Amino acid sequence: MIGKRFLLVAGKGGVGRSTVAVALGVAAARSGLRALVVETAGRADVTPLLGRSAGDPLTEVELLPNLHHVTIDRRGALEEYLRREVPGPIPAAVLGRSSAFQLFVEAAPGMSDLLTIGKVWELGQRPRHTPHAHPYDLVILDAPASGQLVGLLAAPGTFSRIARVGPAARQAAGIERALTDNADVGAVVVATAEQMAVTEALGLQATLSERFGVEVGAVVVNRLLPARFSLEDGLALAAAPDDPAIRSARWFHARAQAQRVEFERLVGQLQAVACITLPLLFEAELGLGHLEHLADLLVGRNHEQPG
Amino acid sequence: MNSLDSALAGKLMVICAGAGGVGKTTVSATVALGLAARGGRVALVTIDPARRLAEALGLDALGNLPQVVDVDRFGGSGVEMQGELAAMMLDAKRTFDELIALLAPTLAMRDEILGNPVYQHISTAVAGSQEYTAIAKLYELEHGADYDVIVLDTPPSRHAIDFLDAPDRLIGFLEGRALAVFLRPTGHAIRAAGVAFAGLRRIAGTGLLDELIALFRQLSELLDGFRQRAADVRELLMDPASAFLIVTSPERAAVDEALFFAAELDRAGMHRAGVIVNRVHPIDPTDLDVAVTAARLAPILGSSLAERTARTHAEVQRLAQRDAAAIARLRSALKSEPVSLAERPADVHDIPGLMALREELFERDDEQGTHRHIAPVGSRDGENPALQQR
C-alpha cells in the first residue's frame, strides 16, 4: 500500500479515516519514506492525534521525523493556483481578491473541487511545482466522506468537459489522466463492521476501481472486537444473574456477533481485495504508541485474505 | 431529566445537525417517531438513510413529498400511534428544479435554465446544493402547513455549519456586487470586470464563461423570488419555534464539531433545543478490579469465562469513562444537560429499534400520566407558546 505515490483513504463518516491515514503515514515514515498526510476543507483532524496543532492552510508541517501534514483550503488553493498558472500582466493577488473571480470559482462546476484536487496532485509532484517545496515519496489523502470524495475525484473531468478549451481545461484533463488509471495511485477504504459502513465501503470500492481506475489495495475494518466469547459462553452469560460485569460482557458478545455478520458480508463480497482488521482500542484518546501499534497491523502480517 | 420533552415542546421545526457518522438519520427518525406517537402530524425529511431504515419507513416509494408511514408498520412494536408520521427522502436535484420552476416567470425561462449545462452541474455536483435544497424543502413543507412538526435530517457535511450558511450564501451570491459586475458592468466596475474577465478567459476559455454569464442572466430574472425565499428561510430558521438538535458521538472530533456548531448557532441567534450524545457506553464503575471480580464470578461462570468477563468489564468501562468525560465537557461548555443514547450492539434500522431509542429520548407516557400536547399550528406570530415565552 505504501509503495504508491498517492494513497486515498476513503470511507463513511465516523469510521476512523483520519486514524488510519495517520497510522499509514507513521508506517511509511518508519520505513524511511518522506510521507505527507493531507486533509481538505481546512480541516485538521489528524494533528491532535499526535498532540500537535495544525499549521496554517497550505503550510506543510513536520509532525514526526519524515511524517508531514498539510490542510488545503479553497481560498489558499485558488491564490496559489493563480500565482503559478496566470503569469502576465494581472497580479494573482488582485485576481484572487476580485469578487467576479470568486463568483466564478463558486459557480463554475467543479472548479472549487478542482483547485483542491489539483493541489493534492501538486503535492505529489517531483520536483514540486511550488518553488522551494520539498517532494514527498508518499502523499496520503485523508479524503472527505464518500459522496464528497467522488465529487472531488470527478472534478477534473467535469470541469474539462464543460470548459472544453483554455489552460484550465487542459490542466484539468491532465490531472484527470494523472489520478485515474494510474498505478501510482492507490486507495484504502476504511469501514467499521456495521451495516451502513460496510455498504458504503463496498460501493466505494466499486466506484474507485470501475469509475476512476483507482486500485483499492485493501479494505480496513476498524474497531473490530475480538471473538472473546463462544456461543456457549454467550448462553452462560445470558443465564447468569444480572451484574455490572456480566452486563458488559453480554454487550460485548452481542456486539461482536453483530460485527461478525457484517464483517463476513464484507469479506464475501470483496472478491480479490484484501481485508485488514484493526481492533477496537479501549482507550480514551489515541496517542503515538497506539498509532505505531496500528501502523504495525496495517503493514504487517494481519492480512486476512477473503475466502 | 434525560428527556427531550420539554426541549421540544411547542417546536414546529426540529433540525438535527452534527458531524458525519454520528447517527443523525437514526436520531431524526426517532425524534419524528416519538413526536408522532405522542399525537401530532409529523413530517420527517431524511437525506440518505440506510437501506433497511428506508425500507422500515416505506421510503422506497418515489416522490418528493412526505408519504404517510402505514400505521401497520408499527404493529407489534408496542407503539400506540396517536398521531401520524410521514417521511420522505430528499431528492436534491428534483427539489432544485422545482424551485426554479416555481420562481421562473415564464415556462420558456424555466426550460432555458433547466437546460443550461452549467445549471445542471450546479444543481447536482456543486458543494452546498444539497444543503440549500434541504432548506428549501423545509420551507416548502412549513409553508404548506400540512404538518404540526417537521423534523429534518441534515446532509452529511464535513462542516455542519454549511447548512446554516446556505440561504445567506444564495442571497450574497445573487445580490453581491460580483453578479452585478457580470451582468451590468458600469464605471469602476467595468475596469474590475475587465481584469476578472481577462483572467477568466486566460484560465477557463470563453465557452464556459459565456455559458456562466448566460445562466447568471437567466437567474437574475428570478432574483426577486430568490431574495424573498432566502429571507423567508432565514426568518424561519431564526424563529423560536424552530430549534436545532445537535447530534454527536462521544468522540473528540465529533464533540469539537458539536461545540463549534453550537457557538455558531448562538452567534446567529438561532435556537438550540439540546444535544444528543449517541453511542454512549453506559457507566457502571463498580467491580473494576479484574482479579477481584473474576474471583467473585468464578463460582457462577467458571474461572476462564469469569476472567474474560471481568477483563471485558474493565475495558468497556474505560470507554464509558471517556464518554462520561465527553458529556461533562458538553454540559459545561453548553450550560445544558446532554441527552445520551446508549451504544447498541448493532445499527438501528427497524421500527422496534427506533422505539427502543425513543424510550431513552422521551419520557414514557405511563410515567407522565397524560400525553404531552404538541403545539397546534398557528400563525407564526401569536398563537405559538414558544413564541410567547420570548
Q: Which whole number is the average pLDDT over B309-323?
A: 96
Report the pLDDT value the prediction gives residue A109, as an integer from 0 to 100: 62
CA dihedral A253, B55, B33, B241 (to 10 degrees): 120
**pLDDT tens digits, one per residue of A51-100:** 888 888 899 999 999 999 999 988 788 888 777 766 665 666 666 666 66
A259-263, B231-235, B320-324: segment of lowest average pLDDT: B231-235
A136-140, A182-186, B29-33, B122-126: segment of lowest average pLDDT: B122-126
The predicted complex's ipTM stands at 0.86
CA dihedral B196, B201, B205, B208 (to 10 degrees): 30
Would the pLDDT of B384 be above 60? Answer: no
Residues from chain A contacting residue B168 (CB–CB below 8 Å): none
Say how far apart CA B330 and CA B322 lie, in whole Å: 13
Chain A, 167-206: which have a CB under 8 Å from a chain B CB?
Answer: 167-169, 194-196, 199
A10-19, A142-151, A217-226, B303-312: segment of lowest average pLDDT: A142-151
Q: Please give the helix or strand (H or E) that residue A217 lies within, else none.
A: strand A215-224
Contact of A45 with chain B, judged by CB distance below 8 Å, is answered with yes
Say how far apart CA B43 and CA B91 lie, in whole Å: 15
pLDDT confidence band for B41 (50 / 70 / 90): very high
Q: Which whole number is the average pLDDT over B31-45?
A: 91
Cβ neighbors of B261 (< 8 A, separation 6 or more) are: B17, B18, B160, B161, B244, B246
Q: Which of B301, B307, B344 to mutate to test the interface with A (most CBs of A within 10 A)?
A: B301
Does the domain made of B5-164+233-281+343-375 have the CATH classification 2.40.110.10?
no
User: Nearest C-alpha of chain B: how many angstroms from A259?
Assistant: 7
Kindly report the pTM of this predicted structure.
0.86
At residue B271, what are phi and psi to the nearest 5 degrees? -110, 130
DSSP for B142-190, written as a single string: HHHT--SEEEEEPP--SSTTHHHHHHHHHHHHHHSHHHHHHHS--THHH
Residues from chain A contacting residue B200 (CB–CB below 8 Å): 100-101, 104
Are B199 and A95 a contacting pair at CB < 8 A?
Answer: yes
Residues from chain A contacting residue B347 (CB–CB below 8 Å): 194-196
SS3 call for B342: strand
Cβ neighbors of B246 (< 8 A, separation 6 or more) are: B17, B18, B258, B261, B262, B265, B272, B274, B275, B276
Report the pLDDT value the prediction gives residue B147, as an integer from 0 to 100: 92
How many Cα atoms occupy the beta-carbon half-sphere of A230 within 13 Å? 4
State the burial class of residue A295 (Cβ atoms within 10 Å of its Cβ: 0-12, 13-18, 19+): buried
pLDDT confidence band for B316 (50 / 70 / 90): very high
pLDDT confidence band for A43 (50 / 70 / 90): confident
Would the pLDDT of B372 be above 70? Answer: no
Would the pLDDT of B185 be above 60? Answer: no
Residues from chain A contacting residue B212 (CB–CB below 8 Å): 104, 107-108
Say how far apart CA B21 and CA B278 lie, in whole Å: 10
pLDDT confidence band for B319 (50 / 70 / 90): very high
Q: Which whole number is the average pLDDT over B74-99?
A: 82
Report the pLDDT value the prediction gives residue A199, as an integer from 0 to 100: 92
User: Nearest C-alpha of chain B: how many angstroms from A154?
Assistant: 9
Architecture of the CATH domain A6-226+273-304: 3-Layer(aba) Sandwich (3.40)
The grid coordinates of residue B216 equal 447568471
Report the pLDDT value the prediction gives residue A7, as an integer from 0 to 100: 96
Q: Helix, strand, coil proportions of chain B in percent (round to 5)?
A: 55, 10, 30
Higher pLDDT: A14 or A253? It is: A253
Domain positions in chain A: 6-226+273-304
SS3 call for B369: coil
Q: Is the dihedral of CA B120, B125, B126, B132 positive or negative?
A: positive
A291-295, B104-108, B219-223: segment of lowest average pLDDT: B219-223
Would the pLDDT of B187 be above 80? Answer: no
Would the pLDDT of A28 be above 80? Answer: yes
B25 to chain A: closest CA residue? A196
Are A14 and B318 a contacting pair at CB < 8 A?
Answer: no
Q: What is the mean pLDDT of chain A?
A: 87
Please tell me what DSSP assigns to residue A59: -
Q: Please give the helix or strand (H or E) that residue B280 lies within, else none.
A: strand B272-280
Would the pLDDT of A245 be above 90? Answer: yes
Report the pLDDT value the prediction gives residue B231, as an integer from 0 to 100: 79
Residues from chain A contacting residue B308 (CB–CB below 8 Å): 228-229, 233, 249
Domain positions in chain B: 5-164+233-281+343-375, 286-337
Are A145 and B21 a contacting pair at CB < 8 A?
Answer: yes
* Parallel/antiparallel/unpaired status of strands A303-304 and A274-279: antiparallel
Report the pLDDT value the prediction gives residue B183, as an integer from 0 to 100: 58
According to DSSP, the residues that pair with B248 across neighbouring strands are B277
A71-75, A273-277, B142-146: segment of lowest average pLDDT: B142-146
Report yes or no: B17 and B131 within 8 Å, Cβ to Cβ: no
Task: Name which of B202, B212, B284 is nearest A244 (Cβ-Cβ).
Answer: B284
Would the pLDDT of B199 be above 90? Answer: no
The grid coordinates of residue A239 equal 443465564
Say how far apart CA B98 and CA B111 lie, in whole Å: 12
Residues from chain B contacting residue A43 (CB–CB below 8 Å): 158
Higher pLDDT: B288 or A112? It is: B288
